[in-house]
A = this chain, B = another copy of it.
């Protein structure tokens, strides 16, 4: 509803799931006198998907055993070009596996990657991979850099995005084995590679050490860092509240740090637009996830990724 109210009238939404539950929810919204309900409802269709993938289901078991889940049915609609993009707040592992299986990866990739936004004092930076892949080769880290670069260009409108490789020191010889090797490969990858960045450089992006748009790391480090960061506001708010600072002032001060502003993290590398949202997303977060999907489709991000990876393959051949 929120997304449809914001988007142009050419946009429509297909809700995929158990029809009865969706219709009950729509009736509830109508009965509550939700603003703009009738106009929005006319642009919503429903596709039945009776199976439910639980958060505890294994990624591949979900595809094999639950072909009539909203995940599989929705991604099939996208693969068949009956939908331009797919957005879900379900089981992340299942969404990744189903997206790769049904949409396929771009040529030249071995894995997809999740691109998450990290709010900073100035401009947010893209963290890639934020959790899709745990043990990564140097070549995969370079793939993440290419994917993140297109994302920053197309979605954040940053020309020639500055790419930093997350490491335990600025010097090229710092890092674990994959990172050290990736440093060498990135220096010759034709990207705007600024070298290693440290944990402390992320929040000062755009100030201390100059431009930084994309932070590249494996999904283990990315996941740990992102979840750690997500837990910081809770700590700060508790401390400020116990110091007697007014709730309103706190909320206002940290407005730019609301994760739901970003809503969704795209799964980069698949031939399509698959947006991953938090399981605990608010309606506002889902609205923003849909906005991310629309920008990805309208900027033709997916084509750009395919072309960029094609060029890279030619350059390295």
Residues of A within 8 A of B (CB): 120-121, 131, 134-135, 166-169, 175-177, 179, 198-204, 217-221, 223-232, 234-236, 238-240, 242-243, 245, 249, 252-254
- The distance from the CB of A104 to the nearest CB of chain B, in whole angstroms, is 25
Check B200 against A166 for contact (C-beta < 8 Å). Answer: no
Given the contacts A230-B200, A232-B203, A249-B245, A176 and B135 also touching, CB distance less than 8 Å:
yes
Check A199 against B231 for contact (C-beta < 8 Å). Answer: yes
Q: What are the residues of chain B within 8 A of A234 when measuring CB–CB?
A: 203-204
Question: Within the oligomer, what is the number of copies of this chain?
Answer: 2
Q: A226's contact among B135, B169, B199, by CB below 8 Å, is which?
A: B199
- Nearest 8 CB-CB pairings of A with B: A199-B227, A199-B228, A168-B223, A200-B231, A243-B253, A199-B224, A200-B227, A134-B176
Q: Tell me what chain A mostly uses at the interface: helix, strand, loop, or mixed.
A: helix
Check A239 against B121 for contact (C-beta < 8 Å). Answer: yes
Q: What are the residues of chain B within 8 A of A242 when measuring CB–CB?
A: 253
Q: What are the residues of chain B within 8 A of A169 when measuring CB–CB?
A: 223
Q: Which residue of B lies closest to A198 (CB)?
A: B227
Q: What are the residues of chain B within 8 A of A221 when measuring CB–CB?
A: 220-221, 224
Check A238 against B121 for contact (C-beta < 8 Å). Answer: yes
Q: Which residue of B lies closest to A243 (CB)?
A: B253
Check B198 against A224 for contact (C-beta < 8 Å). Answer: yes
Q: Which of A121, A177, A231, A252 has the most CB of B within 10 A?
A: A231
Q: What are the residues of chain B within 8 A of A218 when measuring CB–CB?
A: 176
- The distance from the CB of A169 to the nearest CB of chain B, in whole angstroms, is 8
Check B203 against A228 for contact (C-beta < 8 Å). Answer: yes
Check B120 against A235 for contact (C-beta < 8 Å). Answer: yes
Check A175 against B220 for contact (C-beta < 8 Å). Answer: yes
Contacts A202-B231, A203-B228, A236-B236 given; 20 further ones with Cβ under 8 A?
A120-B235, A121-B238, A134-B168, A166-B224, A168-B219, A168-B220, A168-B223, A168-B224, A169-B223, A179-B220, A198-B223, A199-B228, A199-B230, A200-B228, A220-B221, A221-B221, A224-B225, A225-B228, A228-B229, A245-B245
Q: What are the residues of chain B within 8 A of A219 when measuring CB–CB?
A: 168
21 A-B pairs whose Cβ atoms sit less than 8 Å apart in the complex: A134-B177, A167-B224, A168-B220, A168-B223, A168-B224, A169-B223, A198-B223, A198-B224, A199-B225, A199-B227, A199-B228, A200-B228, A203-B231, A203-B232, A204-B231, A204-B234, A204-B235, A225-B228, A228-B229, A240-B253, A245-B245
Check A239 against B254 for contact (C-beta < 8 Å). Answer: yes
Q: Which residue of B lies closest to A174 (CB)?
A: B134
Check B223 against A199 for contact (C-beta < 8 Å). Answer: yes
